A and B are shown apart, each in its own frame.
Chain A
Amino acid sequence: MPIDFLPILVMIAVVAAFAAIALILSGLTGPRRPTRAKLEPYESGMPPFGSAMRRVSIKYFLTAVLFILFDIEIIFFYPWAVLFRQLGLFGLIEMGIFILILLVGYVYIWRKGGFDWD
């Protein structure tokens, strides 16, 4: 029923109002002495350089593709982690085989120069 969502709606309104009031109050009452370092997007980060719209080298794509593959495989650890105790030794061996196959792929990329930059 949509009416069940009323508390959430109230919550959203309260949160938004709190954020707005806090921002307005600090803007009205706080002192304002800007310096160069304070105006940077990340105060303690890397100093920004170049334009954000420049083109990215195609070499990044290979790294990106490899990252996607190994990153997403982690998803299969999730059900295993949930059922870790029930699966017991069988689950452990099974995951070992899974990782071994991934490892063969990893060594393959390594030996074929997938990680070389030039």
Chain B
Amino acid sequence: MPDLNTWLLISPELILTVFGLLIIVIDLVGREKSHAVLPWVAILGFILAIATIPYLAQDQTIFAGMYAIDKFAFFFKAIGAIGGILTVLISIDFLRTRTPAKGDFYLLLTFAVLATMMMASSTSLLMIYLSIEFLSYMSYLLAGFLREDKKSNEAAIKYFLYGAVTSALMLYGLSLLYGISGSLNLADLTKQFAASSDLSVKALGIVSFTLLLAGFGFKISAVPFHQWAPDVYEGAPTPVVAFLSVGSKAAGFALLLRVALTAFPTFHAEWIALLSVVAMMTMTLGNLVALQQTNVKRLLAYSSIAQAGYMLIGVIAANVSGASPFMGLNGVLIYLAAYLFTNLGAFVIVVAIENATGAVEIPEYAGLVKRAPLLAALFVVFFLSLAGIPPTVGFIGKFFVFGAALREGFLLLAAVGVINSVISVFYYFSIIRAAFFEEPKDATLIRVPGVMTASVAICAALVLLLAVFPQSLIDLAGMGMGMFGIARP
């Protein structure tokens, strides 16, 4: 029976559960006027959840070893909650004109963040399955939230069908892994892999990892499980897309890292070969197709596919025993934190423009600099960061990831990554070109609500500040990877 201490250790999750239920109760019993408070209730929940994190005793597992309380999980929990806060901030205005049902949205979003937190802590096959499915279900519903909107419907059903098939593949892999050790814990599995020299166990391990990759690849939108991304990014409500591109991707990477590094160290050579192919295809396909896009949301979808490819380089180059600052693992964490603020910032601008004018096509962004000078200027900052050009935090992320690849001798991967980063400049700057060097068709000023301006300004400030003073971020990421030194046998 779990004691009080165990409950305290999962207080971020409990807080979000309570706040999610609170939101739905307020929505049900409160009057129409009281619904304006809902987004702020959600934000309060996220802030409380983050605030408890530093007080939790770390580096232990609870519930018979199925759930890890470690710094690595805390890093991803913080990323999920910050992503949640920013998503709520940009949702307030977006939803006002579009849908009457608001409580449901914040409930789903709170639970989606809760699911990313559970993914970050999962150390057993059952928890992996439950948390990944939890996040998936919330995401499907969020993607189809605008029921009257045909594109939103279509995005949701495509997302659902891809997701259900890939999760079934992953689940089959999980059932095979259960058969190897008879236990659900990744730690027991590791022992079994290390102890057994049986060829069938080895073959089963490789097959299961490939099947698991279907589920993780779907979450991080890696080729060949990326097909949902463009349609969902185009059709789903834009704040939801902002969350999916950051929260869902980060949680997917958390699971991939934990499973690959703690459960499959005996298959290091095999999964590196597999992931290298996936990483190269992901980067190249994402960037090449992005070049031809005219819809901004679709372009950002392919851009996010390509970004997943860069992050995979960090996973491949992960070396937990090294003393050098370039360990791949911290590269991924830094990259994800950088990507959080960069991509969310870019999406805030897309939402602001979509709200004011309905425009999502690149030609409609013509002359943006005259209509919304601040937004246009900050767009440049975010695109510089996405392309990895200094002085932005995106550069720091790429620097660590590619540095780790070079240090571990993955020269080809690093080269493909750098070439792809150069290609990406072209499509990011096609938007900048339209915004700065073309004449607007309609020169009226775009009005942006204060909450939006504040959130975009915070994102931009962090993108620039963390690039100039990266040490705190690097320290955080270094702390976050601390658990791997302990958990590895």
Flag A85-118 by CB within 8 Å of B: 1 or 0 each: 0010010000000000100100110011000000
B1 touches A104 (CB 8 A): no
CB neighbours of A108 from chain B (8 A): 24, 28
A90 touches B28 (CB 8 A): no
B415 lies within 8 A of chain A by Cβ: no
Interface size counted on chain B using CB atoms at 8 A: 6
Flag B87-111 by CB within 8 Å of A: 1 or 0 each: 0000000000000010000000000
B21 lies within 8 A of chain A by Cβ: yes
CB neighbours of A112 from chain B (8 A): 101
Give the number of residue pairs across the A-B interface with Cβ within 8 Å.
Answer: 11
Name the residue in A87, A104, A107 with the highest tally of chain B Cβ atoms < 10 Å from its Cβ: A104
Question: Which residues of B from 98 to 142 have beta carbons under 8 Å from A?
Answer: 101
CB neighbours of A90 from chain B (8 A): 1
Closest B residue to A100 by beta carbon equals B21
B28 touches A111 (CB 8 A): yes
Q: Dominant SS at the B interface?
A: helix
B419 lies within 8 A of chain A by Cβ: no
B451 lies within 8 A of chain A by Cβ: no
Q: CA–CA, A111 to B28, complex, Å?
A: 7
CB distance from A103 to the nearest CB of B (A): 10
Q: CA–CA, A112 to B102, complex, Å?
A: 12
Pick the contact of B21: A87, A101, A111 (CB < 8 A).
Answer: A101
B356 lies within 8 A of chain A by Cβ: no
Q: CA–CA, A99 to B28, complex, Å?
A: 18
Q: CA–CA, A35 to B21, complex, Å?
A: 60
CB neighbours of B443 from chain A (8 A): none
Closest A residue to B103 by beta carbon equals A108
CB neighbours of A107 from chain B (8 A): 28
Flag B23-43 by CB within 8 Å of A: 1 or 0 each: 011001000000000000000
Question: Which residues of A from 39 to 92 have beta carbons under 8 Å from B?
Answer: 87, 90
Q: CA–CA, A112 to B27, complex, Å?
A: 10
Q: CA–CA, A102 to B1, complex, Å?
A: 23
CB neighbours of B25 from chain A (8 A): 104
Question: Which residues of B from 1 to 56 have beta carbons under 8 Å from A?
Answer: 1, 21, 24-25, 28
CB distance from A77 to the nearest CB of B (A): 18
Closest B residue to A112 by beta carbon equals B101
Q: CA–CA, A111 to B25, complex, Å?
A: 11
Closest B residue to A91 by beta carbon equals B1
Closest B residue to A107 by beta carbon equals B28
CB distance from B131 to the nearest CB of A (A): 17
Closest A residue to B17 by beta carbon equals A101
Q: CA–CA, A90 to B2, complex, Å?
A: 9
Closest A residue to B22 by beta carbon equals A104
Closest A residue to B29 by beta carbon equals A111
CB neighbours of B101 from chain A (8 A): 112
CB neighbours of B21 from chain A (8 A): 101, 104
CB distance from B35 to the nearest CB of A (A): 13
Q: CA–CA, A111 to B31, complex, Å?
A: 13
Q: CA–CA, A87 to B1, complex, Å?
A: 8
Q: CA–CA, A108 to B28, complex, Å?
A: 7
Flag B348-370 by CB within 8 Å of A: 1 or 0 each: 00000000000000000000000
Q: CA–CA, A108 to B108, complex, Å?
A: 13
Q: CA–CA, A112 to B25, complex, Å?
A: 12
CB distance from A30 to the nearest CB of B (A): 53
CB neighbours of B24 from chain A (8 A): 104, 108
Flag B239-280 by CB within 8 Å of A: 1 or 0 each: 000000000000000000000000000000000000000000
Flag A5-20 by CB within 8 Å of B: 1 or 0 each: 0000000000000000
Closest B residue to A111 by beta carbon equals B28
CB neighbours of B28 from chain A (8 A): 107-108, 111
Q: CA–CA, A4 to B1, complex, Å?
A: 42
Q: CA–CA, A107 to B28, complex, Å?
A: 8
Q: CA–CA, A107 to B26, complex, Å?
A: 12
Q: CA–CA, A101 to B28, complex, Å?
A: 14
Q: CA–CA, A90 to B28, complex, Å?
A: 30
Q: CA–CA, A101 to B18, complex, Å?
A: 10
Q: CA–CA, A108 to B27, complex, Å?
A: 9
Q: CA–CA, A16 to B326, complex, Å?
A: 74
Closest B residue to A90 by beta carbon equals B1
CB neighbours of A104 from chain B (8 A): 21, 24-25
Q: CA–CA, A108 to B25, complex, Å?
A: 8
CB distance from A69 to the nearest CB of B (A): 12
Q: CA–CA, A104 to B101, complex, Å?
A: 17
Q: CA–CA, A62 to B425, complex, Å?
A: 48
CB neighbours of A101 from chain B (8 A): 21
CB neighbours of A87 from chain B (8 A): 1
Q: CA–CA, A104 to B21, complex, Å?
A: 8
Q: CA–CA, A100 to B200, complex, Å?
A: 46
CB distance from A110 to the nearest CB of B (A): 9
Q: CA–CA, A11 to B213, complex, Å?
A: 48
- 11 pairs, A vs B, C-beta closer than 8 Å: A87-B1, A90-B1, A101-B21, A104-B21, A104-B24, A104-B25, A107-B28, A108-B24, A108-B28, A111-B28, A112-B101
Please give 8 more A-B residue pairs, beta carbons under 8 A apart, in addition to A87-B1, A104-B21, A108-B24: A90-B1, A101-B21, A104-B24, A104-B25, A107-B28, A108-B28, A111-B28, A112-B101
Which 7 pairs between the two chains have the least Cβ-Cβ distance? A111-B28, A90-B1, A104-B21, A108-B24, A104-B24, A107-B28, A108-B28
